[in-house]
Structure 1
Amino acid sequence: MRRTARSAARLASLALLLAAAACAAPASPREPPIAYPPSVRARMLRIAEAEWAEWGRLAAGPGLPHLSSGAEGAIEAFPRVLAYWRAVPEEEATSAIARNRARWSAELGGTPREGVWSEPAWSAAFVSYVMRAAGVDEREFHPSASHAFYLDAILRDAAEFPARAPFLPHDPAGRAPEPGDLICADRSRRPLASWRDRPAEAGRFRPMHCDIVLRTAPGVAEAVGGNVADAVTLTLYATDAAGMVLPRGPGEPVVFAIIENRLGRLPPFQPALIISERRG
């Protein structure tokens, strides 16, 4: 018993020493993000729109009819959602994929199992898939099954590498969304008032949802997202005369951030992009 107690004490002391050493050791500098050509943004938008088309071009928003749920359990949907989950880190995707493969196998075997892909939510996996398929490396966009966690990585880069970060946060009243931007909303009971409130709780889960802006027009921003009415759906966001997203109605998730997409708009590609836009 005494040996066991002494061994436990030694292990505890060693753990404390290692923890102290880790705190004392200077943090190694992080690798700065790299720049991408404009073709990556264009590919990202093509992929997002193609996925939306495969799901039937469903649309949601003010004045539109309510969408029925259940599309994620359809035959054609299984490999689509599986592809989205394969884009997130294995440790996040393994259990979700295993459970839903079992449900799907039961369906194929003639034993109906409701709820294929009904959980966990796959909207963040969809955004991760679009970024990965477009060629954005995990250093520049941290794929995750949670919007909150890839947003944490975006905010950290914006703070540490403001001149080189591929994504920058803005308040909804501070930026009119453009194609490729993310519109992010908080689905919790006590939503964030601003993205500036997120770093204080970084690393903790918070229910969120982000859509990828496809295009804008006077009075509306059209953005596509996953797991909206159990499908990849286009959501219409009302905007004011300056193009800013307007506050949503009671009970709707609160938009707290517009994430500016700077893929293809940072040096050395920025001058070429400006020239091509002028020619256009």
Structure 2
Amino acid sequence: MRLSAPSASAGRRVHALLLALWPTALLAACATPPQATARFREPPLSYPPSTRERIVRFALTEWQDWGGYVTTPGEKHPPSKAPGPESAIANFPRVLAYWRAVEEDRPVIDRNRDRYAAALQGAATAPWREPAWSAAFISWVMRSAGVDQREFAGNAAHSFYLDAILADARDFPAQAPFVPHSIGDYAPAPGDLVCGDRSRRPLTDWRERLAEIGQFRAMHCDIVVRVGPFVAEAVGGNVEDAVTMTRFPTDASGRLLPRPAGEPVLFGVIEDRIGRLPPFGAAIPIPANPPASIGAPVS
């Protein structure tokens, strides 16, 4: 997997969004009451259970279409300078479709169209080797399943759509379609996102992200598609230069185990509550004393 910073246009759009969602006081480590920002935004809409099923189905179908690659954390592959599956001519339209879900990154599309055109003429080019397209893949799955931009703010960077998820979890705890959980507190289920940090100084818990909202961070998230005894299977893009299934080991209760040394550090599971919120599911109880972890800074 190759990682790069998102395009400048994506960064500007997310920066503007976050200025509206996250008050300066939050960035300065001072909690802001949820109602201070919630009243300026319309709450997210609720979606039927079929939408969650479509998320899983689209992820699985893409994985199968790419050849059904499977990997396990800690599995080693010899380095290679040869182009990966992403650069095959047959796969150009697939990755192009993912980038179309984050259309503001048009320069990325134009640059790789040029590489593809050269490849069609026999040149030794490698379309889609950069930038990383894993967040574009997640955004495409959500959009293809029918989740609108308001409910999932698709972006070329995982860190930026995660910021929007955290904002909704803070401002609309009873209506947010996605809510974060610490690795040790929650067992992932199909439709959830498993997220890890690929940076040199990785986050170890999603709460740590609250101190740096709006800043790019190298992350990766996969969509959970199946769970079983001691394993959670999740599909992600740009893993081994393809859409790949990762088999994450879990404990007896289904919670994720730490990844081997040298692997991205798992810092959270994003619960997908689509189909489980009113009017399609039971009302989500709101604690009398909401946890300070949502919307509060990390000190």
Q: TM-score range by the shorter chain?
A: 0.7 to 0.9
Stretch of structure 1 that moved more, 65-74 or 131-140: 65-74
Deviation at 1:66, TM superposition (A): 3.6
Q: Which amino acid aligns with 1:191?
A: P
What is the CA RMSD across the aligned residues, in angstroms? Answer: 1.9
55, 60, 73: which one pairs with 2:71? 60
Instruction: Kindly provide the CA deviation profile for residues 175-197 of structure 1, in whole angstroms up to 9, marking residues without a partner as x.
Output: 00000000000000111121111
- Which of 1 and 2 has higher RCO (CA within 8 Å, sep 6+)? 2
Q: TM-score, normalised by structure 1?
A: 0.84
TM-score when normalising by structure 2: 0.79
Alignment deviations for residues 81-115 of structure 1 (CA, whole Å, 9 cap, x no partner): 00000001x33x211111100000001122222x2
Q: Which residue of 1 aligns with 2:53?
A: 42
Distance in 1 between residues matched to 2:240 and 2:156, nearest whole Å:
18
SS at match of 2:61: helix
In the alignment, structure 2 segments of 5+ residues that lack a partner are: 1-23, 25-35, 283-299
- 1:106 equivalent to 2:123? Answer no
Aligned position for 1:81? 95
- The residue number in structure 2 matching 1:13 is none
* Contact 2:74–2:263 (CA under 8 A) maintained in structure 1: no
Q: Does 1:259 align with 2:285?
A: no
Distance 1:189 1:53, change over 3 A: same
Give the aligned partner of residue 226 of structure 1: 237
- Mapped partners of 1:63, 1:172: distance in 2: 18
Following the alignment from structure 2 to structure 1, what is the Cα–Cα distance between the partners of residues 169 and 57? 26
The structure having more radius of gyration, on CA atoms, is 1
Contact 2:231 2:250 in 1 (8 A): yes
CA distance in 2, matches of 1:36, 1:78: 32
1:187 pairs with 2:188? no
Return the letter of the residue paired with 2:276.
Answer: R
Moved more, 93-102 or 221-230: 93-102
Q: Which amino acid aligns with 2:116?
A: W
How many angstroms apart in 2 are the aligned matches of 1:158 and 1:241? 28
User: Following TM superposition, by how much is the alpha carbon of 1:249 offset from its aligned partner in structure 2, in angstroms?
Assistant: 0.5
Which aligned segments of 4 or more residues in structure 1 are displaced greater than 3 angstroms? 62-69
CA separation in 2, counterparts of 1:45 and 1:119? 26
What fraction of aligned residue pairs are identical, expressed as a percent?
61
2:85 counterpart residue number: 71
Question: What are the Cα deviations for residues 136-167 of structure 1, in whole angstroms up to 9, with x where unaligned?
Answer: 00000000000000000000000000000000
Cα drift, residue 64 of structure 1: 5.8
Structure 1 unaligned segments of length 5 or more: list them. Answer: 1-22, 272-280
Q: Deviations over 1:220-251 (max 9, x none)?
A: 10000000000000001010011100001100
| 2:142 equivalent in structure 1 | 131
Determine if contact 1:60/1:66 at 8 Å carries over to the other structure.
Answer: no
Name the count of aligned residue pairs: 245
More helix by share: 1
Matched ranges for 1:1-280 at <5 A: 29-62=40-73, 66=77, 70-88=84-102, 90-91=103-104, 93-113=105-125, 115-271=126-282
List per-residue Cα deviations over 1:62-90 (Å, max 9, x = no partner): 586748760001122100000000001x3
CA distance in 2, matches of 1:134, 1:63: 31
Distance 2:122 2:183 in 1: 49
